[in-house]
Structure 1
Amino acid sequence: MKEMNCETGEVLQRKMRCSTLTEKYNALPASRQEERAALLKDILGSCGDQVLIKSPFYCTDGIHIHVGSSCVANFGCVFQDAEEIRIGDRCLIGPYTCIYTVNHDLDACRRAQKMIRALPVTIGDDVWIGGNCVILPGVTIGDRAVIGAGSIVTHDIPPGTLWAGNPARKLRDLE
């Protein structure tokens, strides 16, 4: 777990850079695909080929997000990336899905000091996450898993399984 003050100069500069770039990205029409792809590579830590992230898209730092090839994230996604978010190849992420790596401290004094705790999120290859899902800090979703629309994922998901609900519960094996 990484603990940090979310309002240091370095963190604020990184967030401002990301905010400026995502505003430009979201303002570009979908028809300007080459410009959007180039801008996405500037926003993200790394980005594979044939990645489509529909606008509007929001992230906090950008540089901690690593997306594999042939991925699609539908419109309205929010990635809070104070820590790494790794998304494998051929993933589908539904509209309005949020991936969080950060939590505020439970202690009111530490919250007042702007202290946060961050854990990475890892999403394997060939994962499908339905619309309006929430992925919480520290979660790993295994290869070929499917997360049903509206789910809140609070813990690790094994490969090749179907999960849904709040909190997400295993419905069945897919393999």
Structure 2
Amino acid sequence: MPEGRSQKQRMLAGDWYCCLDTELEEMRQAARRAVHAHNTCPPDTRGPMAAALATLFRQIGADCLIEAPFHCAYGVNIALGDRVYLNAGCTILDTAPVTIGDGAMLGPSVQIYCAQHATDPGERARGLEIARPVRIGRNAWIGGGAIVMPGVTVGADAIVGAGSVVTRDVAAGDTVVGNPARKR
């Protein structure tokens, strides 16, 4: 890795970085405050999402709705298209860009992970990880409790069955189920 770059710059470039970093911790703390505001605001006051959360995200299309509770690592890497729906309990660990296309729906407790930790125990203990982007295509439906792993793309109009663990890309229009998720 070239010297002189911050851990945040390394993370955003998709290089190995140390997550045990002051600047990254400050960003996570800002996300925690925004998530807390969203999750504790009365629904009548909150609307589709709390203002603090909305200002954190990279992009929010029209008519999006995020149910509470919700959790994200940074928020700044999340881009939502129009009419995106995230049901209660969704978690997005957005160490890399997470793009969710127009009309996509995520069921309750869907988890999207971008961080891939080092496999070497010593490197992992030092906080080394790499961030891989996740893309959810237009009109995709991710069933409740599904987990989408780092670097995965779920194509437009695809369906991921409830409880599935998606470790590989899902082609547009395909339906996958199981652990690991396989084409049905």
Where on the TM-score scale, by shorter chain, does this alignment land: which range? over 0.9
CA contact (8 A) 2:48 2:64 kept: no
1:9 and 2:22 matched: yes
What is the distance in 1 between the residues matched to 2:38 and 2:149? 25
1:156 and 2:169 matched: yes
What is the distance in 2 between the residues matched to 1:35 and 1:123? 20
Matched pairs, number: 171
State, as a whole percentage, how many aligned pairs show the same letter: 35
CA contact (8 A) 1:2 1:119 kept: no
Give 2:181's aligned residue.
168
More strand by proportion, 1 or 2?
1
Stretches of structure 1 that go unaligned for 5 or more consecutive residues are none
| The one of 93, 98, 102 aligned to 1:80 | 93
Query: CA offset at residue 32 of structure 1?
Result: 1.6
CA contact (8 A) 2:60 2:80 kept: yes
User: 1:95-106 counterparts in 2 under 5 A?
Assistant: 95-106=108-119
What is the distance in 1 between the residues matched to 2:181 and 2:45? 37
CA contact (8 A) 1:28 1:36 kept: no
Give 1:61's aligned residue.
74
What is the distance in 2 between the residues matched to 1:109 and 1:69? 43
TM-score where L is the length of structure 2: 0.89
Q: Secondary structure at the match of 1:160?
A: coil
Q: Secondary structure at the match of 1:21?
A: helix
What is the distance in 2 between the residues matched to 1:39 and 1:23? 9
Stretches of structure 2 that go unaligned for 5 or more consecutive residues are 1-13
> Alpha carbons of 1:145 and 1:42: their partners in 2 closer, same or farther (altered >3 Å)?
same
Query: CA offset at residue 45 of structure 1?
Result: 1.4
CA contact (8 A) 1:15 1:60 kept: yes
Which letter does structure 2 place at the counterpart of 1:83? Answer: A
What is the distance in 2 between the residues matched to 1:99 and 1:65? 11
Which letter does structure 2 place at the counterpart of 1:32? Answer: T
1:40 and 2:53 matched: yes
Give 1:140's aligned residue.
153
Alignment RMSD (CA, Å): 1.2
Query: CA offset at residue 2 of structure 1?
Result: 2.7
What is the distance in 2 between the residues matched to 1:35 and 1:54? 8
Deviations 1:7-59 (A, max 9, x none): 21110110000001100110012112448353332121111111111000000
